[in-house]
Amino acid sequence: MRSGIFAGRYKILSLLGRGGMGHVYRAEHLGLGKEVALKILAPLHGPASSDFPERFAREARAIGRLDHPGCVRIFDYGQDDDGSQYIAMELIDGPTLGTALGEDVFSIHRALHVGRAILSALAHAHAHGIVHRDIKPENVMLAGGSGFRVVLIDFGLASLRDAPALTGRGMAVGSPSYIAPERLLGQPHDHRADIYSVGVLLYEMITGIRPFIGESPQEIMANALSRPHRPLRALAPHASPILEAVIRRALSKDPDKRFADAEEMMSALGDVERLDALATGDAEPADEASASMTIAELSIHQPSRLARLWGWLRYGAWRWRPGH
């Protein structure tokens, strides 16, 4: 735990969190009088072969490339005289998704909001050649506490399209619960590994438990690799069959069977939300005519759309997007 002034201009105020690579502090940039989150990688005492410094530099480059409300923004990156690297970034005022999940399960509405916001941020990152690779509740923040601005942090494990893969000791991977099967197996992977992790998050937000559990990391991995998860609605009967199907698809063990990209999954969740609203009569006032429709009536009023949904549910071949 540090205190005092860091790198000549950051006054350390308090510890915000600690993780695999270092400590994150609330700090004040003295010249600007502005509060930031300061992530510091301490100079290493361990073997010189560690790739932490390279990973840290890569994290800074990755966030520096992004510009999206759902991706934490970077202000500064550098090194202190003692060799400690630091990243000064936007201070997110709110809990992590992990903290929020520790309090209660989420309503479907809130889970859909958070899921779609994460996917929107991921679509942006993926379009810039960045796969996050560490989507888990501790790396998602809910700004303001209400969950209405959802921010991805911790790009420390991200892969960048135009940078070589890092080899060597690598980072100790925490809970394997969020990691896609192909990564557990050490196989080549792409942006669809992030889609799998979002499937895990949605399942956990709605049911309160993760799809694959076990007594040890090995058991969790074995379950994730070889077993089906318990159907969502066995644990959350209030969820719609369509939402269950969306999550099942995101959790496919074969990446080819998942959504092709984050945008596709985001629009599927948008449709789940609209159908849920129609089914519960909870639609927007402007949509009053359709608000009283049940799903059965929907088939009369919007037959082509329902047919597409059924087709997708039965064959898992969702190819439709709004506006297309």
Ligand X SMILES: Nc1ncnc2c1ncn2[C@@H]1O[C@H](COP(=O)(O)OP(=O)(O)O)[C@@H](O)[C@H]1O
Taking CB under 5 A as the criterion, which residues in 109-148 touch Mg ion? Answer: 139
Residue 59 as a binder of Mg ion (CB under 5 A): the answer is no
89 binds, among ligand X, Mg ion, none (CB under 5 to 8 A by kind): ligand X
Q: Which of 51, 93, 134, 154 is catalytic?
A: 134
Q: State the helix-helix crossing angle for 262-280 and 108-127, rounded to 10 degrees.
A: 160
Please choose, out of 2-10, 91-99, 199-207, 253-261, the segment that lies near ligand X by the rule CB under 6 A. Answer: 91-99
| Whole-number Å distance between alpha carbons of 245 and 187 | 26
CB of 23 to ligand X, least distance (A): 8
The three-class DSSP label of residue 144 is: coil
CA angle 31, 34, 38 (to 5 degrees): 95
Question: What is the separation, in whole angstroms, between the first and last Cα of the chain?
Answer: 53
User: Given the complex with ligand X, which of 26 and 253 has the nearer CB atom?
Assistant: 26
Q: Which of 28, 58, 74, 139 binds ligand X (CB under 6 A)?
A: 139
Q: Cβ neighbours of residue 127 under 8 Å, at least 6 residues apart?
A: none
Dihedral of alpha carbons 210, 211, 216, 218, sign: negative
- Of the pair 58, 248, the CB lying nearest ligand X is at 58
270 touches ligand X by CB under 6 A? no
Cα 231-291-203 angle, rounded to 5 deg? 20
Q: How far is the CB of 153 from Mg ion (least distance, A)?
A: 7
Residue number with the shortest CB distance to Mg ion?
Answer: 154
State how far the Cα of 120 lies from the Cα of 111, in Å rounded to an integer. Answer: 14
Q: Which does 37 bind (CB under 5 to 8 A by kind): Mg ion, ligand X, none?
A: ligand X
Question: What is the SS3 assignment for 156?
Answer: coil
Rg (CA), the chain: 21
Q: Can you tell me the distance from the alpha carbon of 37 to that of 307, in angstroms, rounded to the nearest whole number?
A: 49
Known catalytic residue: 134?
A: yes
73 versus 308: smaller Cβ distance to ligand X: 73
Site string for Mg ion, 248-277 (x = CB under 5 A): ------------------------------
Positions touching ligand X (CB under 6 A) are 16-17, 19-22, 24, 37, 39, 72, 89-92, 96, 138-139, 153-154, 156
